[in-house]
Amino acid sequence: MTTTTDTTADEVAWDLDPLLDGADVDTLLDRADTLASAVEAVRGRVASLGAAELARAMGDLAALQDHLGRAGNYAHLRFATDTADPTRGALVARVQERSIAIWTRLIFLDLEWAAVDDDRAEALLADPALAFCAHHLRSQRRYRPHQLAEAEERLDAEKTQTGATAWSRLFGELCAAIEVPLPDRTVRLEEGLALLAHPDAGTRREVAEAVTAGLAPGLRTRAFVFNTLLLDKAVDDRLRAYPTWLSARNLHNETTDASVDALVDAVVARYDLPRRWYRLKATILGVDRLADHDRMASVATTTPTYRWDNARDIVLEAYRGFSPELADVASLFFAGDWIDAPVRPAKRPGAFCAYTVPSHHPYVLLNWTGTRRDVLTLAHELGHGVHAHLARPQGVFHQSTPLTLAETASVFGETITFARLLERTTDPTDRLALLAEQIEGAIATVFRQTAMHRFEDAVHTHRREVGELSVDDFGDHWERTQAEMLGDAVRITDGYRTWWSYIPHFISTPGYVYAYAYGQLLALAVYRRATETGPDFVPRYLDLLAAGGSLPPTELARIVGCDLDDPGFWDGGLRIVEELLDAAEQAARDAGRL
């Protein structure tokens, strides 16, 4: 068990060796290769297989994915903590190459399964022998209109490692190398962005200018990477007959273009909420109007920092107050060295939870700087981790949810931690500071991610209808979509026009970001159900997490009483954001800041 009493969390490092299960990477890949041969035995016969034989083939496939998942996660997680180490990068490449070579041999399975007659497929899926993979197999059939011939699918898979995957890795390495030149020192991008919460306006302006300066050296290169991937996706969508740039992502998320449009429209219709907050914040800070680099400015009169062990206790106590079982699972991450927390040179920025494989446990990566936001980020990522851990019995085919539900447990965990902090905060000034952080988190997750989704929509459309984008074209689309959200409440500076260029989701997972808004609003609705229902809600929530991705999103949401088909569903989550604003205004009045 690793503990530390300082704010750096330097000793909090994960142990990845258990992922290898006593073997090494190449042995795991060899085992997967052998299992691929077993699966290949059903080539040409999938349409005639009975349920028992199909279940055996899917069982072999599950074991294969376990070996590949262990090897791949080991390589990628080591690389995430030091992207400058060439040996770690080489291991990632080797695992990717061998994994793709194995998967290309099995492309026939999805193609033959998609070609099975509908009535026969449903009869097979009704057999209990296939329960462990039924939803997965049913979902795979939705891709039938977009599949290519086997030779083309194999070529596409093999070229991925020198195409989109390689460009995405390059972008990640370029961003990890970005340095922010402050007057007294040079820091990583992650640390520079964190300093935008500094209470001094001059410091925030100075830091923003330094971030812009740090983004400048590789800007054209990152723009070229983005352009290349925009074209790559356009070609892929054309060949696979997807009607829009987002349709493939929506299909993967088990949602529809129309429902995503409804979500985006609902959020855009409430752009008045972030504008209202930023006007209130300007008044609190004593300025006429915020600049873009002032948005994360602290309204606190003091800036609290948290020791790692204190943060751990805060989060676990909040989890335990909702459910002892939830807290017990979260405790495993600290006791088992499942977290890598410190900021290091060349470490991947941000935070994430890696599910790994159901036969192992998840891991969490942070870049810990000891702020209150970091405490809530810890609560957020542990929510992912608890979700992954409770869903492990579902197996490799059903452990993970679509992206649209992937943020539910994380936002819920962050929200119960915030509620516990707020409950213990009686001083109006401190309550205002805490509410401000939560509002800004909601704005970042719901409104800013929606604005970024609209930026993605703009650049994908531009690339398809006009052609390659210049750095200024990217800047124009970024500025316009941000200005639509911010209105006249925030002044956008010239330097901010390049800040699209470090966001990894645009590169690695096109169409990802709307899922943050989806997940945040869903999680807020789930939290509202929890507060209204009381202790009786806890078993339903745990059932939701334990179900993983074994059901469609609409059915998963029904477990906790949410109707995703209701056109007004999103308004409920948006009202909670509005209530936070009401509370912040009252706290500001009580603190004499209005």
Six-digit token string for 567: 């056109």
Residue 3 in this model has a pLDDT that exceeds 50? no
User: For residues 515 and 536, is the Cβ–Cβ distance under 8 A?
Assistant: no
Assigned domain for 28 exists: yes
Residue 594 in this model has a pLDDT that exceeds 90? no
Report the percent of the chain where pLDDT is more than 90.
Answer: 83
Phi, psi dihedrals of residue 425, rounded to the nearest 5°: -105, 110
H or E element: which one contains 290? Answer: strand 290-291
d(C-alpha 323, C-alpha 352), whole Å: 23
Predicted pLDDT at 317:
97
d(C-alpha 581, C-alpha 594), whole Å: 14
Where do runs of H (alpha helix) occur along 397-470? 403-406, 408-423, 428-442, 449-465
Q: How high is the mean pLDDT of the chain?
A: 94
Predicted pLDDT at 566:
81
What single letter denotes the amino acid at residue 360?
A: H
Residue 302 in this model has a pLDDT that exceeds 90? no
d(C-alpha 338, C-alpha 335), whole Å: 8
340-399 per-position pLDDT tens digit: 999 998 998 889 999 999 999 999 999 999 988 899 999 999 999 999 999 999 999 999
Residue 8 in this model has a pLDDT that exceeds 80? no
Predicted pLDDT at 424:
86
Structural domain that includes position 98: 17-148
Six-digit token string for 179: 């340095």
Sign of the C-alpha dihedral computed for residues 90, 91, 92 and 98 taken in this order: positive
Predicted pLDDT at 371:
87
Predicted pLDDT at 449:
96
**pLDDT band at 2, cuts 50/70/90?**
very low
Predicted pLDDT at 442:
92
Predicted pLDDT at 425:
87
Sign of the C-alpha dihedral computed for residues 512, 95, 109 and 121 taken in this order: negative
User: For residues 308 and 6, is the Cβ–Cβ distance under 8 A?
Assistant: yes
408-417 per-position pLDDT tens digit: 999 999 999 9
Predicted pLDDT at 6:
60
H or E element: which one contains 73? Answer: helix 51-81
Q: What is the mean pLDDT of residues 511-523?
A: 90
Predicted pLDDT at 303:
74
Assigned domain for 105 exists: yes
User: For residues 383 and 319, is the Cβ–Cβ distance under 8 A?
Assistant: no
- Which of 221, 90, 234, 246 lies closest to 167 in space, CA to CA? 221
Q: What is the mean pLDDT of residues 96-123?
A: 96
Where do runs of H (alpha helix) occur along 86-179? 86-104, 107-114, 118-125, 134-140, 150-160, 164-176
Residue 194 in this model has a pLDDT that exceeds 90? no
Assigned domain for 46 exists: yes
Number of CB atoms found within 10 A of residue 215's CB: 21
CATH assignment at residue 125: 1.20.140.70
Residue 187 in this model has a pLDDT that exceeds 70? yes
d(C-alpha 127, C-alpha 54), whole Å: 11
What single letter denotes the amino acid at residue 176?
A: A
User: For residues 391 and 456, is the Cβ–Cβ distance under 8 A?
Assistant: no
Six-digit token string for 217: 């050296």
d(C-alpha 564, C-alpha 458), whole Å: 27
User: For residues 82 and 344, is the Cβ–Cβ distance under 8 A?
Assistant: yes
Assigned domain for 372 exists: no
- SS3 string of 545-559? HHHCCCCCHHHHHHH
Say how far residue 559 (Cα) sits from the centre of its chain: 23
d(C-alpha 531, C-alpha 168), whole Å: 41
Predicted pLDDT at 350:
87
Predicted pLDDT at 262:
87
57-102 per-position pLDDT tens digit: 999 999 999 999 999 999 999 999 999 999 999 999 999 999 999 9
**pLDDT band at 452, cuts 50/70/90?**
very high
Predicted pLDDT at 300:
84
Assigned domain for 54 exists: yes
Q: What is the mean pLDDT of residues 442-462?
A: 97
Dihedral angle, C-alpha 87, 90, 94, 99, nearest 10 °: 100
Predicted pLDDT at 42:
97
Classify strands 179-181 and 186-188 as parallel, antiparallel or unpaired: antiparallel
Residues 6+ apart with CB under 8 A from 280: 581, 584, 585, 588, 594
DSSP 366: E
Six-digit token string for 125: 């899926």
The total number of structural domains in the chain stands at: 1
Assigned domain for 100 exists: yes
Say how far residue 132 (Cα) sits from the centre of its chain: 26
Assigned domain for 356 exists: no
Phi, psi dihedrals of residue 368, rounded to the nearest 5°: -80, 125
What single letter denotes the amino acid at residue 406?
A: A
Residues 6+ apart with CB under 8 A from 315: 330, 375, 378, 379, 382, 413, 417
Residues 6+ apart with CB under 8 A from 2: 11, 12, 13, 334, 337
219-274 per-position pLDDT tens digit: 999 999 999 999 999 999 999 999 999 999 999 999 888 888 989 999 999 999 99
**pLDDT band at 1, cuts 50/70/90?**
very low
306-343 per-position pLDDT tens digit: 999 999 999 999 999 999 999 999 999 999 999 999 99
d(C-alpha 166, C-alpha 172), whole Å: 10
d(C-alpha 45, C-alpha 165), whole Å: 32
565-588 per-position pLDDT tens digit: 887 888 888 999 999 999 999 999
Assigned domain for 177 exists: no
